[in-house]
Amino acid sequence: MVGMLKEKEIKESVKERYSKIATGETQFCSCCSGTAPNIIEQAKAAGYTVEEIKSIPGEAVLGVGCGNPTALAEIHEGDTVLDLGSGGGIDVFLAANKVGKQGKVIGVDMTEEMVQTAVKNAEKGGYNNVEFKLGEIEDLPLEDNSVDLIISNCVINLTPDKLAAYREAFRVLKPGGRILVSDLVTLGQLPDEVRNSFSAWSACIGGAVEKEEYLNIIKKAGFSGVEIVESHYFSEPQMGPLLEGKILSIQVKASK
């Protein structure tokens, strides 16, 4: 149980929201202030360059991130990279451009419509070094010690069990493997009315935890060298005065 909400109910609410984004039923994601006319502007504000946006299929840019993990992650040619909560594939495709033909990028998403959208985008872009899998980040459909790098963009805050997600990330990483995660955390406790709101959870805010708690979860999962490499205050019009100055967008790196 998370506050007054049950984990299963939270997941179903999040799935419903993101399936609608994937199919185009809704063009708005309050997590990222993205509406159809300014999704590109949102992507730029999150840290993507115009050149990066132009280098991948346009349909992969959905305006649902809070950072650009591929910009800070040290992605090497030949790496096997895993993207947790890959959505339409934006970070998968950017990573695929860096790992080259000898590398591979795997995207995992729990929303079937998102996986279908990403597969179509990969076909449209002619990517042969990517794969998209349907699955949950708390129970990854990958073998132990199988990837070099894990990235994730504003996704782990969506799960009620963040420790399970990070333990799974630790499991599938090779020894010496690393993570670079963009996510939202809080400065202080969130009001109960936010924590107990399905819309706030699916908007990437309701499930955010305090910064130090978030970092301690990563350490508890077994990671070392946990470090925030970039951060800034996060704000968007629908948050309201209750949350002003309480939400932080961070990019965290760590290693196994």
* DSSP class per residue in 204-255: TSTT--BHHHHHHHHHHTT-EEEEEEEEEE---TTS-GGGTTTEEEEEEEEE
Q: Please, what is the average pLDDT of the chain?
A: 85
**How sure is the predictor about 236, in pLDDT bands with cuts at 50, 70 and 90?**
low
* Number of domains into which the chain is organized: 1
- Please check whether residue 88 is in contact with residue 62, taking contact to mean a CB–CB distance below 8 angstroms: yes
State mean pLDDT over 35-61: 72
Question: Does 1 reside within a domain?
Answer: no
Is residue 2 a part of any domain in this protein?
Answer: no
Question: Is residue 41 situated within a structural domain?
Answer: yes
What does pTM read for this prediction? Answer: 0.88
Q: In this structure, what CATH number is given to the domain that contains residue 37?
A: 3.40.50.150
CB proximity list for 234: less than 8 A, separation 6 or greater? 66, 184, 247, 248, 249
Distance CA 183, CA 203 (A): 12
Tell me which residue has tokens 């399936």: 19
pLDDT digits (tens, 9 = 90+) for 152-208: 998 999 899 999 999 999 999 999 999 999 999 999 888 777 777 656 655 667 788
Domain that holds residue 108: 7-255
